[in-house]
Every structure is written in C-alpha cells, then in structure tokens.
Amino acid sequence: MNPCSSLGIGLAGFGTVGSGVWNTLQRNGALIADRTGGGVTLHIAKILVRDLAKVRATTGDVPAEILTTDWRALVADPAVDIVVELIGGTTDAFEIVAAALRAKKPVVTGNKALLAERGVELFALSREMDTPIHFEAAVAGGIPIIRTVQDSFIGNRIHSFSGIINGTSNYILGRMTNAGLTFEDALGEAQSLGYAEADPALDVNGWDAAHKAILLATLAYGFPIDPASIHVSGIEQVRPTDINFAKNLGYAVKLLAVIREHADGSVELRIQPSFIAKSNILASVHGVFNAVAVHGDAAGESLFYGRGAGQDPTASSVVADLVEAARGLRQASGHRGFLPYRESGTILPVGETSTAYYVRFDVTDRPGVVAEIARVLADHRIGISGTHSPVNPSNPDAAFVDMVFLLHTCPFGKLQQALTEIEALDCINSAPVVFRIENLG
C-alpha cells in the first residue's frame, strides 16, 4: 500500500447501515481528512450487494463498476485495503471476515451476533495474522462504548456494567408504560415505525442485548464467553398488570443487561426485564435510546447515552472504526483492535445470583391460595415482603386472577426450586412470571 494514496474500503452489505456509511463518507470525507491532518483519506472501492439491478435502480450515485455480488472478489480486490462487514448473520459473514483477516486486511463490523457466537475463532485468527477487528457499531449504535472500554478505561478494573442496550424493547416497554398499550399493540406500533423488524425475535427475546453484553464482558474481563453460559430472558411475558404494579411501587420496567465481577473473579452476566427505581437515571431512558452505566475502580461511575440503532448513528460508529483502522495502516503501528487477554474465566451460574423479586402467579381464585404459596416459600426460607391480587377491571368476577408476591433477596436457584413446587399446586394455572427488582446503587 502506498502510504500517500487514498485507502480503499470494501463495503460488504449495502442496506440501511451500508448506505449510511456511503452517504457519510460522501458528505464528510473532506472533513475527516482535515481532522486527521490530511493523513486519512477514505473512498469506497467495492460494494457487495445481493441484487445489482435493485441497487442501480435505487441508488443512482453509486458507480456500477464498483458493485459486485461476489464477496471473494471484494476481499481479493487489490484496491480494497479495509473490509467492512455489514451483511449480518454468522455464516457468510464469518467467511468474509476470516478471508479478510487472512489477506491481512483490517476488518470493521457491526455484527454482534457473529462476534458473540464465533468471536473465539475470529479473534484467534486476528491475533495470528496480526490484523485487527474493529466493532464499535456492534454495541449501542452511535454510543462510543467499545472504544471507551478499550482506551479510556484501560487503567481501570471494571466492577460492573448495567444498561439498556436494545432500543426496540425499550420503545415497547415505554409505550406500555406511557400509553397503556399491550405488548402486542406496542410491538405492532414499533414495527410500523421501523423500530422493530418483521421478525422481532432477537429484540424481544433478549438475545440482541445478550450478544452485545457478551462483547462488553469479554472486553472488560478478557476471556471468551459461551452464549450458552448466560441467563437471557425477554419481554414477551410483560403485561400491563406488571407495568402498573411497578409504577405504583415507584419502579420502571426495563430490559436490563447486568454484568458484574464478584470478589472471587467470577462474572455475573444476565439479561432480563427488571424493576428499577424511578430515581435511577436508567429509568429515564426512553424511546429507542440506549444507556450504559460503567463502574470502574479508578474512574468511578460513568454513564453513556445515545441512539442505539438507526442508519446515521450506526454509520457514525463504522466510520470512526474506519478512521482508526486507516490510522493503523498509515502508521504501520502493528496490531490495533481488541484481543482477549485471558484464555478462560468463570461465568457465575445464574442460580447463585441474588436479587429481590416480583413474581406473578396465574391462580384459581379460592380460599387458601396465598397460604399454599407462602408455605412453599417458607419451606425454602424465602421471605415475603408483600402480596397483592389486582382486580381484572374487564371481569371482576373472573375465577382466574393474577396473584403478585414481592420477595426478599435470595439466590435465584433457591427461588427456582420453590417455583417448581408451587407450579405443581392445583391452584396454579401456568408458569410463574418472574422479574428481578434491581438494586443498582
């Protein structure tokens, strides 16, 4: 590579984010060069698309000669110095990233699922080839949380992260809270506004947030994490009853990512809908915004807030990584980018994690129900701080009711054992629904 020439970008994927990267470089390319002292000039040399005719029909300012449907041609093109992977998934995307690393071409990606599920292989290859993977856009859209953890917190032992890192779920829970919508109606609204995909499974079942949390935890604690080792629960079972009960108690319901290092070095990592106090700043994160609170031993508590998704915020993170990758190539400064620094670590089993709880039971309304549930909880030495049976306003004479128990702090495993016994009682009609009541300090 000629150090005085413009650096060529191979853009694998030209959907929402890919076209945003194109537009950002077209609009701000000169500004980027000026801000880096003229040392970084970027241009799109090749674009991988699925349908040539569709792109030509909808994007008139993209030269036809730089379009291709063959990812191998994109990676092998001598005009491509840096490869940007934005196609999603874990199959073709893996092949593209691996091929780019083998060709010693730095990679920029926003693919959190790929890195969370196959990052062990890719980061090992990155180390072997001395070629970096940059992935700011994989977590929290336009919030520069990855670079902050990599650079600004490099001298800190990070005690914990807690955050809202899925904007779709946050929007849905917000509409349920503020407009009284059901989960189904709020999801439909989010889809109509483009905040949720036609298939919203990864957003509402918690796994989009989980993939991001895995990346943050791996950065902070240095070892690869098996997705099967963490606890993930989504928002599909959240009902207006839960939202209203939380509001009356002074809480907000949020899909919360919790990452915490314990004194023995084990790492707690879980994703679940949680009650958090309205006085906590995370309760004020609305709409599709994300926020991550980071607690370091030297820096103390820091909060990072911004749009978690969308064309321009995510493209902004991709372009920032492109500049970082380009600087590395320009300066020939060796490997730059994340690498795990420990071979292994311990994820704390979810059964050993402890919080207070809100538990909703669907019960048959008959005498003795509260006593039966309370007896099982007492047998497992789980304290009860309150009970409540809200009336169904549409059918106050219904034979089936929601019975809510507020429980003192205990290990989650002990609670699960008790709930298994309770679910077998004749008065219980379906699996209990559990929310953590978080003490975020």
- Residues with a known catalytic role: 212
- DSSP state, residue 181: -
271 and 208 in contact (C-beta within 8 Å)? no
* Nearest Cα to Cα of residue 20 among 105, 69, 63, 84: 84
Pairing relationship of beta strands 400-411 and 384-388 according to DSSP bridges: antiparallel
* Nearest Cα to Cα of residue 9 among 88, 99, 106: 106
* Nearest Cα to Cα of residue 229 among 112, 65, 349: 349
* Nearest Cα to Cα of residue 54 among 66, 64, 43, 65: 64
* Nearest Cα to Cα of residue 323 among 35, 37, 40, 79: 40
In which element (H, E) is residue 46 found?
strand 42-48
Q: Which residues of 358-392 are buried (b: 16+ CB within 10 A; e: fewer)?
A: bbbbebeeeeebbeebeebbeeeebeeeeeeeeee
303: left (phi over 0), alpha (psi -120 to 50) or beta: beta
Q: Give me the half-sphere count of Cα atoms (radius 13 Å) on the Cβ side of residue 315.
A: 20
Distance CA 231, CA 88 (A): 23
Residue linked to tokens 């349908």: 51
* Amino acid, single-letter form, for residue 315: A
66 and 47 in contact (C-beta within 8 Å)? yes
In which element (H, E) is residue 403 found?
strand 400-411
- End-to-end C-alpha distance for the chain, whole angstroms: 51
* Nearest Cα to Cα of residue 275 among 232, 240, 246: 246
Query: Which tokens sit at 313?
Result: 């915020």
Strands (E), 297-390: 300-307, 354-364, 384-388
Distance CA 394, CA 363 (A): 17
- DSSP state, residue 91: S
Distance CA 118, CA 102 (A): 16
Q: Which residues of 291-321 are buried (b: 16+ CB within 10 A; e: fewer)?
A: bbbbbbeeeeeeebbbbbbbbebbbbbbbbb
